[in-house]
Structure 1
Amino acid sequence: MNKLLILSFISLLAMNTYGQKDYVSQVWNPDNGDGTFTNPVLNADYSDPDVIAVGDDYYLTASSFNCLPGLPILHSRDLVHWQLIGHALQRLEPDSVFAASAHGMGVWAPSIRYHDGEFYIYWGDPDYGVFMVKAKNPAGPWSKPLQVIAGKGMIDTCPLWDEDGRCYLVNAWANSRSRFASVITVRELNADGTEAISAPVIVFDGNGTENRTCEGPKFYKRDGWYWIMMPAGGVATGFQLAMRSRSPYGPYECKKVLEQGDTPVNGPHQGGWIHTSQGEDWFMHFQDKGAYGRVVHLQPVTWRDNWPVMGKLPAKGYCGEPLLTCRMPKSAYHDTCNPVESDEFNDPRLGLQWQWHGNYQQSFGMPTSFGVFRLYTYKTDKTIWHTPNLLLQKTPADSFTATAKLTLAAKEQGQTGGIIMMGLDYSALVVKREGNSFLLQQVTCHGADKGNVEEVKTLATLEPTSADKIDYQPAIYEQLYLRMRVHNGEVEFSYSTNGKRYKSVGETFQMREGKWIGAKIGFVAQEPAGKSNRGWIDVDWFRVTK
């Protein structure tokens, strides 16, 4: 089988086996239908994106931090329409750390590469070192993580396999762990990319200049030149640099190639350069949108004097500005699809859009054969901030409505379940058993990462909708429709007992980002610590609409 057929088979297998190919979002679709697209192409928190072209197909991964499964794998045929086809990481080690909600830890700024018939992803865990996974099929299965380099502080790693078979690794440094930063280092790995065989060499120093906070480097080779493309200047306010050298160890020439300019796109930087099979060049980067996280934009790349000018081409010089609307990339195929948001929970496996806040345990919950997902109450006397079985997904747009039909089964007092907007500040609309009735409550915390307490407001008292008729561990049940409306960073809650008439309740909540991630939406189920039998929520469906 020739190489083109192999790549086509991989792409087809990924889409047919794992894809959610026909889903078109009601709340964000970048395709304007006239041969143009509007940025962002991914209006969700796929922070620190990296992307590769393999034949006519494109694959993207992004930071996942402590959210699991991690290392999302997205596929596209045209760089505009994307679908989530899997994850490369099921668990993080050590489990003693990541079984809990280790906010902001874990996977930082991965890179994805295709080498010698296999897909590779490298990432830096700032606390434990540099890791790698690989796979024949980007949809999986992926290998277990291999620790390539042990140590603290190494982040944002990217390999480069040279024509002579040698392998190099570039990375940045986390000041919070190493107590130095704003430098970029290169070292050599063995030909398999599994261990370092040289010491790191500083090839760029941004200290004391506007190029502070240089990080997120990506390594390339083009026409005999080694290229490191990286952001600098800060996450929300920075710009994109391109550096070139005739040697992987430098010295490097450096130019700014993309900045905000007169556009509303702040901090357009950190991402991946793609040379397509159609002979075009594009760059995918993030924009930090605060509570919504870091969304992904697509910019054309024009080579001027052997420098990659990104976005709108200036009259002179090499620094472009982001384009909000642009022509579609030339491509062999177009698939009209977007990442899935809604879920009817009819499949015997959890939808790919969902992530836990820690390493999955079976006691968190599981799919069922009767068209609901069962989320068990997590036993804890701590706040929601410390709950790892939060079942969450990324916010899909600036404005949307998320509605869930669910039933709380409560066997004991204090068992609680409902929907949540999660971040450093969070607010949840939940039902809680008290006596033989249920309380509808809004649970809110401001500054959860600082250890602040939750504010609980009771909004209504509800009688059970049903109850077990047996004496053995009986439960009472409350079936409700819970809804959140999100617009311009504000959340308004409502509920219904029949799915037709909704009543607004609680206070308007101002969204806030999580630890290095955007705010996330989904489900929470809790109960006081102890030896009582768990309760649960059965989620019938979750629908994202305008």
Structure 2
Amino acid sequence: MSRDSGKFSWRVGAIAFVFLLLTAPANAEQPKTEGVYRNPLLYSDYSDPDVIRAGSNYYLIASSFHFVPGLPILQSPDLIHWTIVGHALPRIPFGPAYDMAGGNRYGRGVWAPSIRQHDGLFYIYFPTPDEGIFVTTAAKITGPWSTPVAVISGPGLEDPCPFWDEDGKAYLVHSVYGAGPLILHRMAPDGKSVLDQGKVIVRDPESLPTLEGPKFYKRNGYYYIFAPFGGVGTGSQVVLRSRSIDGPYEHRVVLAQGTTDVNGPHQGGYVETPDGQAWFIHFHSSGAHGRIVYLEPMRWENDWPVIGEAAPGAEAGQPVASWPFPHYAGAPSHQHPQTSDEFSASQLSPQWEWNHNPDNAHWSLTARPGFLRLMPMKAGDLLSARNTLTQQMQDKSLEFTARLDLQGMRDGMHAGIAILEKSASGLQVVEADGKRTLTLFTKSNVVEGPAVTGQTIELRLRVDRDTVSYSYSIDEGKSFQAFGETIPITFSWWKGSRPSLFTYSTGDPDGGYADFDWVHYLSRDQSAHQ
């Protein structure tokens, strides 16, 4: 898409750079900059983010890998306060392993996507490393989204981004598994198929190793590709530009770690406010919390972007710790991604994602109104169980508490809360020989606790940075008893660790069920934006 930008005058102050907009239309409502935001913008694993503005709203999408529904969509009126408005992929329809039949797809599924609006439709392009590059479309951001169409079939492709030029011609740029080179295709005008075998337009393994995640833009007659290089934990952000879409492209590093502790700041999208103020959203890899989201101010100098905090004349900036809010003329927003749930609605709230495609015959919000009922399937452990329900951590430190009704438990059943990752741990009630016992499990150990004689129990996990601890209450939450030691948690399958609800059975699961009354999420951090 063609983009125009206003001209900005910048001054370096003692604390931050301050934008001074010079070209706002005379008849526009005066934009406001109220307050200062602090990075990270979202302390949550919205990995490989892309962002657009449609009218007065901003929309952000992220990679979702094996989690279902996939392709979460967040909305913001001001680039600062975000909420989840849905998902673009209700199931991953690419083979039985996504149903955990004959294997699993942990770490596969939906990788880095891109979102654009063109000719009255929203387009989301996404790759799966084993099946190809796909597109789904919708007239409204909340859907319904079309069944994914294979734009290019076959394994080994990643990170697609479309582009429609002023002459109506459509293009697709993408990388390959392992990152680099960048390949350009002509596309059909409807964006649903490619018209050629593709042409390598950027290959520079010495200067730009691990080049991936390209995002295409056009401004002042230049074609721009914003792309990360150097790897998730240590890389930087580069911008390539050319007068011809086919290249050759020159490049410049525009965002790097600098003197900050934000390692590998890169991979994201460029967006402008309605009055032309430029911003860049990207991720930073933060241990067990995954790839969390940062917002950087951006300016143009000599038709090159400079991102983040940079002295006059510098080509590359570094991530900002805080900055004045983007220009925004609307009412103040205090929205945030959803977390707690009373399970009182007829559909799951949008923060929830299953560990793979769910078996919809084994969960219900209507069998007992006001409760989430999970009906176990046979499995040997948590990582081989279906219908584990997860949500992302939204804070560095948090508490996640669930009230579990045990009246439907049967012999062989396990039910409880967990941190889902490759070394999963959790606190569960296990029924064997008609008796219920509270146990704490890790990857290598199971610790048996007290007998559970009541009908209900409250289970709690507390995350502090990259550790989790567990506790429980048998007196309706009046007091909680710690259980076990603090346990490390880890970044797994390219995603952050996740609080989860689960049940499975090592025996005959017929007739059993676990009823979750509610989940209460409590941030232990101070608000980043209020």
State TM-score, norm by structure 2. Answer: 0.89
Deviations 1:288-310 (A, max 9, x none): 00110001100010111111100
**Partner AA of 2:144 in structure 1:** P
Q: Which sits farther off after the overlay, 382-391 or 515-524?
A: 382-391
- Counterpart in 1 of 2:273? 276
Map 1:281-360 → 2, pairs under 5 A: 281-333=278-330, 334-360=332-358
CA distance in 2, matches of 1:95, 1:249: 36
CA distance in 1, matches of 2:185, 2:383: 39
Map 1:207-246 → 2, pairs under 5 A: 207-209=205-207, 211-246=208-243
Quick check: 1:158 aligned with 2:161? yes
Q: Which runs of 5+ in 1 are unaligned?
A: 1-32, 176-180, 446-453, 466-477
Q: Secondary structure at the match of 1:495?
A: strand
RMSD: 1.4
Map 1:407-446 → 2, pairs under 5 A: 407-445=405-443
Task: Say whether the 8 Å CA contact 2:298–2:305 is kept in structure 1.
Answer: yes
Q: Secondary structure at the match of 1:98?
A: helix
**Partner AA of 2:215 in structure 1:** K
Q: Secondary structure at the match of 2:419?
A: strand
CA distance in 1, matches of 2:67, 2:364: 17
- Counterpart in 2 of 1:49? 49
Deviations 1:486-519 (A, max 9, x none): 1121111100011111100122110112201100
CA distance in 1, matches of 2:469, 2:99: 32
Q: Which residue among 447, 450, 454 is the counterpart of 1:460?
A: 450
- Counterpart in 2 of 1:61? 61
**Partner AA of 1:302 in structure 2:** R
CA distance in 1, matches of 2:245, 2:154: 23
**Partner AA of 1:226 in structure 2:** Y
- Counterpart in 1 of 2:376? 377
Q: Which runs of 4+ in 1 moved over 4 A?
A: none
Q: Percent of pairs identical after alignment?
A: 40
Task: Say whether the 8 Å CA contact 2:410–2:434 is kept in structure 1.
Answer: no
CA distance in 2, matches of 1:275, 1:396: 25
- Counterpart in 2 of 1:8? none
Q: Secondary structure at the match of 2:275?
A: coil
Q: Secondary structure at the match of 1:261?
A: coil
Displacement of 1:224: 1.2
**Partner AA of 1:323 in structure 2:** V
Task: Say whether the 8 Å CA contact 1:401–1:544 is kept in structure 2.
Answer: yes
**Partner AA of 2:62 in structure 1:** A
**Partner AA of 2:374 in structure 1:** L
- Counterpart in 1 of 2:16? none
Displacement of 1:443: 1.3
Q: Which residue among 160, 167, 187 is the counterpart of 2:185?
A: 187
CA distance in 2, matches of 1:93, 1:362: 15
State TM-score, norm by structure 1. Answer: 0.87
Quick check: 1:111 aligned with 2:114? yes
Task: Say whether the 8 Å CA contact 1:411–1:533 is kept in structure 2.
Answer: no
Displacement of 1:223: 1.5
CA distance in 2, matches of 1:281, 1:75: 18
- Counterpart in 2 of 1:248? 245
Q: Secondary structure at the match of 1:109?
A: coil
CA distance in 2, matches of 1:439, 1:206: 59
Displacement of 1:103: 0.4
Q: Secondary structure at the match of 1:385?
A: helix
Deviations 1:416-463 (A, max 9, x none): 100001111110100011222211001111xxxxxxxx4211011222
Deviations 1:219-277 (A, max 9, x none): 11112111100000110111000011111111001000000100111111000000221
CA distance in 2, matches of 1:364, 1:68: 15
**Partner AA of 1:172 in structure 2:** S
Task: Say whether the 8 Å CA contact 1:58–1:76 is kept in structure 2.
Answer: yes
- Counterpart in 1 of 2:9? none
Q: Which runs of 5+ in 2 are unaligned?
A: 1-32, 525-530
**Partner AA of 1:154 in structure 2:** L
CA distance in 2, matches of 1:534, 1:248: 61
Task: Say whether the 8 Å CA contact 1:56–1:332 is kept in structure 2.
Answer: no
Deviations 1:393-437 (A, max 9, x none): 001111111111111344531211000011111101000112222
Task: Say whether the 8 Å CA contact 1:410–1:433 is kept in structure 2.
Answer: no
Structure in which a larger fraction of residues adopt helix: 1
Task: Say whether the 8 Å CA contact 2:164–2:170 is kept in structure 1.
Answer: yes
Map 1:141-156 → 2, pairs under 5 A: 141-156=144-159
- Counterpart in 2 of 1:92? 92
Displacement of 1:370: 2.1
CA distance in 2, matches of 1:408, 1:297: 42
Displacement of 1:529: 4.8
Quick check: 1:70 aligned with 2:48? no
